[in-house]
Amino acid sequence: MTKNISINLLKHISPSAFLEKYWGKQALFLQDAIDISGAGLSKDVVFGLAKNENIESKIIAFIEGSQQTTYGPFNKVKHGKSSSLLIHQFNLIHEFSYNLFQSINFVPYCLHDDVMMSFSSEGGGVGPHSDSYDVFLVQGQGEKVWNIGATDKKAFKTTSTDHSNLKFTPTEQFLAKPGDILYVPPFTPHHGISLSDDCITYSIGFRSPSNNEIRNQYLEYLMDRKEKSNDLFNGLDLSENTKALIPNALASFIKKNTAFPKDPTIIDDFIGCFLSEPHEGAFFTKKNITKNAFKKIDTEKILRLNIQTRAVIHNENFYINAENIFVANKDRMFFEELFNQKQILITPSKANDSLVEVMIYLLSEGYITFNKHRFML
């Protein structure tokens, strides 16, 4: 098992220089960028994971020029020539992938998505495609050749929503070896082909919500608000000559009840909840934590965010897993450090009452923990 270490994903480039010159603008290839100790995996281990019903996996194979996708879990993994086995949220089960994920702290946490591992045979890949989000492609073992096309945001938005199997003219080509990293900005066609069997690439992906997704989530947020009412359309004056016309009173009632609230605090609260929404399928184990048990801990301990927790700060409010938690002014610095560093030292017996109250709730919900995460690999 690898050690929980810090990885310098950008090699000799500073985060500020990368964000200014490359992020969202142009591709970047870094040779021998990181130490890939712990990145290699055997076929038996990877295929064993694909049989697990709690792990999201799929196989993309190219048979006679046609792309075929099958979804796991698999009783028996059929991984022939020109195929790739993909496993999502690999950062939750593989410590090296977790360290990769932690290394992107120069990008706002609310944009972090996951690490996907691809295990390819010779000639394998996922096909030429373009994404709406940024991605870092880290070569773990084997070699892969990458063809990159010109970034075209307009074409991405105006063509079909299916941006796979794209035909594009490569503008750059890179040969990725273990430890090499390729950054690809959004709306940029790219195609990776494995040059060897047992080829592993780790893809660090980011969130890129569409306007339709935001609207849908906002409507759900409004429907779930506790202060909703259930007013009915009745008791309004009607005209006996209305017949096929829609009554103005009814139209006004509908307009009033479908208009978005103008209160900016509602919008801000939605933003915090939406961008702290945990990954789909995230599971938190609830525990029975009492104040007495918490206060009996008189040694300094490391308090960590659950590995699946999303915690963000917006307009001086603290959101964790789509919940707005109340934080007393005297506790703000504590939570800022916890959210920014994802862990903090605390001696529970010395904590003040307001901090203890919030800590007990978050521990009980499984959002935070004193336990170090145990990786499968």
For the stretch 16-45, pLDDT in tens is 999 999 999 999 999 999 999 888 899 999
Give Cβ neighbours of residue 364 (< 8 Å, ≥ 6 apart): 286, 287, 288, 289
Residues 275 and 196 grouped into a single domain: no
Residue 212 within a domain: no
| Total domain count, the chain | 2
Residues 105 and 249 grouped into a single domain: no
Residues 183 and 268 grouped into a single domain: no
Residue 222 within a domain: no
Residues 112 and 174 grouped into a single domain: yes
Kindly report the length of the chain: 377
Q: Using the predicted structure, report yes or no on whether residue 160 has a pLDDT greater than 60.
A: no
Residues 197 and 251 grouped into a single domain: no
Pick from 164-168, 220-224, 314-318: least confident? 164-168
Q: What is the 3-state secondary structure (H, E, C) of 188-203?
A: CCEEEEECCCCEEEEE
Confidence category of residue 337, pLDDT binned at 50, 70, 90: very high
Residue 53 within a domain: yes
Q: Using the predicted structure, report yes or no on whether residue 1 has a pLDDT greater than 50.
A: no
Residues 199 and 257 grouped into a single domain: no
At 258, which CATH number?
3.40.366.30
- What is the domain extent for residue 310? 245-377
Residues 299 and 373 grouped into a single domain: yes
Residue 38 within a domain: yes
Residues 186 and 49 grouped into a single domain: yes
pTM: 0.88
Give Cβ neighbours of residue 248 (< 8 Å, ≥ 6 apart): none
Residues 39 and 141 grouped into a single domain: yes
Residues 256 and 181 grouped into a single domain: no
Residue 44 within a domain: yes
Boundary (domain end) residue, out of 206, 231, 261: 206
Residues 254 and 374 grouped into a single domain: yes
Q: Using the predicted structure, report yes or no on whether residue 224 has a pLDDT greater than 90.
A: no
Residues 73 and 121 grouped into a single domain: yes
Whole-number average pLDDT of the chain: 89
- Ranked by mean pLDDT, the top range of 147-156, 244-253, 289-298, 354-363 is 354-363
At 75, which CATH number?
2.60.120.650
Residue 221 within a domain: no
Residue 2 within a domain: no
Residue 5 within a domain: no
Q: pLDDT by residue (tens digit) across 165-201?
A: 678 889 999 999 999 999 999 999 999 999 999 999 9
Q: Using the predicted structure, report yes or no on whether residue 56 has a pLDDT greater than 80.
A: yes
